[in-house]
Amino acid sequence: MTSTIADRLLDWYDRHARALPWRARTGEPAPDPYRVWLSEVMLQQTTVAAVKPYFAAFTARWPDVAALAAAPEEEVMAAWAGLGYYSRARNLVKAARAVAGRGGFPETEAGLRELPGLGAYTAAAVAAIAFDRRAVVVDANVERVVARLFAIETPLPQARKPIRVAAETITPETRAGDFAQAMMDLGATICTTRDPRCLLCPLAEGCAARAQGDPARLPRKTKKKPKPLRLGVAFWIERDNAVWLVRRAGKGMLGGMRALPDDGWSAQADGSGEPPLPGDWEALGRISHTFTHAQLELAVSRYAGDGSPEGEGEWWPLARLEEAGLPTLFAKAARLALA
Ligand code: SF4
């Protein structure tokens, strides 16, 4: 069964692989590890469609790992703005510097794990895809396919271990990188979350969930607790076609990113957080934003006086606001203020 699944899947992949900018086509040499690593970091929690323009912009601006290692962290953070999960960008810079310092990427999964901020998934993916090492690569797509193939009833996240054990049994000794990408493609295009297209699936024969008749019910998931709600106020201070922006403290949420001044997200429910300037403030409305661990309701207030903010910050021209690298939350607040 082991070789049969891998053989059938690789045969399908040779004919149906998605063409993606960070991939080598079947039969071509393995892709540049820098591009594989960059794409895998960007793809965590993020769709292929959202990643493509960022990948193009990053590789045009920083074509290799040495160039990225030499980039100031703030510039990388600004270029990352909009992709979310900003700790990924900070870790990207750290890992790039470590790779440049040692003269290239380690080629093994264990060696890759030693790079700062590089987790088990990324190490396995880079080892398999860029260096053709046998590694068991399990992302959310692969989890879904494996849970269905083996009809694993344990709900996620507890199912991660049995899924990994099952994935290990079907990972081939050769072409592990292609196998990993084939599983990802199968999950993204055929074995989809709500509507698996079993009739087109190369693994239909021998799929336990399909045999049971309702594959879409797997993987089961433990019900998530609702996220805690945080409240905050962002302050819009505008003058001479420029807006006052600050740099967020290095640690904590959105650390190191350019942003509107805010009240630390500890405001009262009525949006009456402490403003950076005394005087008249006009309530413009609210925006909502979902973080990994919390839901944020952010009121946006516009300054209606003629005082000047104190402390560190900069007047940023409104005409170039897109270039400020505001994270999505503050980009939403800015859109509200400018509407
Ligand atoms: S047969 Fe259906 S459920 Fe099973 S792996 Fe293929 S698409 Fe998924």
326 within some domain: yes
Residue-wise DSSP of 83-129: S--THHHHHHHHHHHHHHHHTS--SSHHHHHTSTT--HHHHHHHHHH
Whether residues 250 and 288 share a domain: the answer is yes
223 within some domain: no
Whether residues 147 and 274 share a domain: the answer is no
d(CA 147, ligand 1 centre) in Å = 10
In the set 40, 74, 107, 153, the catalytic residue is 40
Residue 266: pLDDT band (50, 70, 90) is: low
Atom of ligand 1 nearest to the CA of 203: 6
d(CA 151, ligand 1 centre) in Å = 10
CATH at 182: 1.10.340.30
Total of domains in the chain: 2
Chain centroid to CA 73: how far?
Answer: 18
pLDDT tens string 195-213: 999 999 999 999 999 999 9
272 within some domain: yes
Whether residues 170 and 309 share a domain: the answer is no
d(CA 9, ligand 1 centre) in Å = 12
CATH at 326: 3.90.79.10
Residue 92: pLDDT band (50, 70, 90) is: very high
Residue finishing a domain among 187, 217, 247: 217
Q: Does residue 74 have an active-site annotation?
A: no
Domain that holds residue 294: 229-338
Whether residues 172 and 314 share a domain: the answer is no
Residue finishing a domain among 217, 246, 270: 217
Task: Assess whether pLDDT exceeds 70 at residue 335.
Answer: yes
SS3 string, 131-166, reads HCCCCCCCCHHHHHHHHHHCCCCCCECCCHHHHHHH
Three-class SS state of 332: helix
Tokens of 267: 């405001």
**Segment 42-67 mean pLDDT:** 95
Residue finishing a domain among 217, 247, 275: 217
Give residue 273's pLDDT: 62
Whether residues 37 and 95 share a domain: the answer is yes
Residue 30's closest CA among 97, 99, 98, 125?
125
DSSP state of 32: P
Report the phi/psi class of residue 103: left, alpha or beta, with left for phi > 0 and alpha for psi in -120 to 50.
left
Residue-wise DSSP of 249-300: -SSSTTTT-EE--B--S---TTS-PPPSSSS-EEEEEEEEEE-SS-EEEEEE
**Positive or negative torsion for Cα 251, 254, 260, 266:** negative
- How many angstroms separate the CA atoms of 118 and 172, rounded? 24
Task: Assess whether pLDDT exceeds 60 at residue 75.
Answer: yes
Whether residues 130 and 94 share a domain: the answer is yes
Which of 5, 8, 141, 149 is the pocket-test mutation for ligand 1 (most atoms within 8 Å of CB)? Answer: 149
**Segment 286-301 mean pLDDT:** 90
Whether residues 197 and 255 share a domain: the answer is no
Whether residues 198 and 57 share a domain: the answer is yes
Whether residues 150 and 85 share a domain: the answer is yes
Distances (CA, A) of 298 to 86, 105, 191: 19, 42, 38
Whether residues 160 and 302 share a domain: the answer is no
Element (H, E) at 271: none
For atom 1 of ligand 1, the residue with the nearest CA is 204
Tokens of 228: 């805690």
Q: What residues does ligand 1 touch, defined as CB less than 6 Å away?
A: 145, 148-149, 190-191, 196-198, 201, 203-204, 207, 209-210, 215
Give residue 261's pLDDT: 93
Whether residues 240 and 191 share a domain: the answer is no
Give residue 272's pLDDT: 56
Residue 304: pLDDT band (50, 70, 90) is: confident
- How many angstroms separate the CA atoms of 4 and 23, rounded? 25
Residue 72's closest CA among 63, 81, 62, 64?
62
Whether residues 33 and 54 share a domain: the answer is yes
Tokens 């990324």 belong to which residue? Answer: 122
Give residue 292's pLDDT: 81
130 within some domain: yes
Which amino acid does the sequence have at 106? P
Tell me the sheet residues that pair with 230. Answer: 296
Which is higher by pLDDT, 45 or 121?
121
Atom of ligand 1 nearest to the CA of 196: 7
Give residue 117's pLDDT: 84
SS3 string, 197-257, reads CHHHCCCCCCCHHHHHCCHHHCCCECCCCCCCEEEEEEEECEECCEEEEEECCCCCCCCCC
Largest CA distance in the chain: 75
Tokens of 186: 């199968």
**Positive or negative torsion for Cα 292, 297, 298, 300:** positive
Task: Assess whether pLDDT exceeds 60 at residue 3.
Answer: no
Tokens of 78: 């600004």
Tell me the sheet residues that pair with 302. Answer: 236, 282
- How many angstroms separate the CA atoms of 305 and 234, rounded? 16
Residue-wise DSSP of 166-205: HHHHH--SS-HHHHHHHHHHHHHHTS-SS---GGG-TT-T
pLDDT tens string 138-190: 999 999 999 999 999 999 999 999 999 999 999 999 999 999 999 999 999 99
For atom 2 of ligand 1, the residue with the nearest CA is 198
122, 92 contact by CB (below 8 A): no
